[in-house]
């Protein structure tokens, strides 16, 4: 289970998604949440290169940082694209509400974390935390 302080950093701050295909790709995302079962989910609205990279190899990294405290973490895992079910429905509704129907959600990206790493600039930097 992800510690509450770690979950708080991810819940309250912008995420940066990193994938790799022919070249590295990193994008900020705001349609995101950590689920109760410890998965990281993203609403894909404009993520073209990201989705292509996930289709190619499924690998993803997510970073988030609280700018006030510099508390930061990185998650590395495997991503799956989902176009039906509760994760997709959550982001489809959010996109409809946010963009008034002009930009629909393409899918939900469901990330199963494999590593959780401290990225804060302190003595714990690079420490792997339990999931």
Enumerate domains of the chain plus CATH numbers.
4-120 (2.30.110.10)
pLDDT at 101: 85
- Whole-number pLDDT of residue 99: 93
Query: What does the mean pLDDT of the chain come to?
Result: 96
Average pLDDT (6-29) is 96
Distance CA 109, CA 75 (A): 14
For residue range 66-87, what is the model confidence (pLDDT) as tens digits? Answer: 999 999 999 999 999 999 999 9
Give the DSSP per-residue string, 10-59: HHHS-EEEEEESSSEEEEEE-SEEE-TTS-EEEEESS-HHHHHHHHHH-E
Mean pLDDT on 10-18? 97
Predicted confidence (pLDDT) at residue 13 exceeds the cutoff of 90:
yes
> Given a cut of 90, is residue 1 above it in pLDDT?
no
| Cα separation, 55 vs 36, whole angstroms | 25
Kindly tell me if the per-residue pLDDT of 40 is higher than 90: yes
Which residues lie closer than 8 Å to 104 by C-beta, 6 or more apart?
Answer: 45, 92, 95, 96
Residue 44's pLDDT band, with cuts at 50, 70 and 90, is: very high
In 3D space, the residue among 38, 31, 1 whose CA is nearest the CA of residue 17 turns out to be 31
Q: What percentage of the chain carries pLDDT values higher than 90?
A: 95
């Amino acid at each position: 289970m992800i510690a509450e302080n770690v979950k708080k950093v991810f819940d309250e701050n912008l995420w940066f998604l990193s994938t790799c295909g022919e070249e590295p790709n990193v994008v900020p995302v705001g349609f995101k949440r950590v689920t109760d079962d410890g998965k990281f989910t993203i609403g894909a609205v404009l993520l073209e290169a990201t989705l292509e990279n996930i289709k190619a190899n499924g690998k993803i990294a997510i970073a988030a940082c609280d700018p006030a405290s510099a508390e930061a973490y990185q998650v590395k895992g495997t991503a799956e694209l989902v176009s039906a079910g509760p994760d997709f429905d959550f982001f489809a509704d959010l996109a409809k509400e946010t963009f008034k129907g002009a930009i629909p959600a393409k899918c939900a990206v469901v990330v199963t974390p494999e590593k959780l790493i401290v990225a804060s600039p302190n003595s714990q930097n690079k420490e792997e935390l339990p999931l």
